[in-house]
Amino acid sequence: MEEIKNEIIHSFGNKLRIRACGICIEDNKILLVKHHSLGKGGILWAPPGGGMVFGETTEQALKREFVEETGLNVSIEKFLCVNEYLVPPLHAIELFFIVKKIDGTMLTGVDPELHKDRQIITEVKWLSFEQLKKIPTEAIHSMLHGVTNSEELYQRSGYFSNI
């Protein structure tokens, strides 16, 4: 476990990252990725997304991250909002978009930045908003706090923060 935390710090920590993230809802369920060794409680359910690579557009980064983490191809429908995520040693400015699944086969993906034996993605799942309410708040990405349905989520705009 300590090796994983050290690798997270080495790969993602102690620097500001720009992340592209996607809100994908189908049949009133939201697609989320479960990570271990992240968040205040050691588990974090979050929308798919990840760090942008120099020279890559936001759209390219978001589509790449969806394939890496979920196996799904998506189209980007519209920009939603900005979220600042700060849980030391992680600090990110996250650009959230509404996306739509095009095709692909859902799978539990990987973080290519991490060694194959120290992956932190443990599950990819469509969750209803009722199921989301049953997960402890500290285990859910702050962008989803207090959201009870897809319409509330789609109405988010501006700047948000977990700080």
Question: Count H helices, E strands: the chain?
Answer: 4, 8
What the block records as the tokens of 30 is: 């939201």
Q: Are 129 and 146 in contact (CB under 8 A)?
A: no
pLDDT in tens, 69-100: 999 999 999 999 999 998 888 899 999 999 99
DSSP 119: -
pLDDT in tens, 22-32: 999 999 999 99
Q: Write b or e for each residue in 121-134: b if 16 or more Cβ atoms lie within 10 A of its Cβ, otherwise e.
A: beebeebebeebee
% of the chain at pLDDT higher than 90: 75
Distance CA 143, CA 82 (A): 9
Distance CA 95, CA 104 (A): 23
Q: Say what the pLDDT of residue 159 is.
A: 96
pTM: 0.92
Q: Are 13 and 37 in contact (CB under 8 A)?
A: no
Q: Say what the pLDDT of residue 1 is.
A: 59
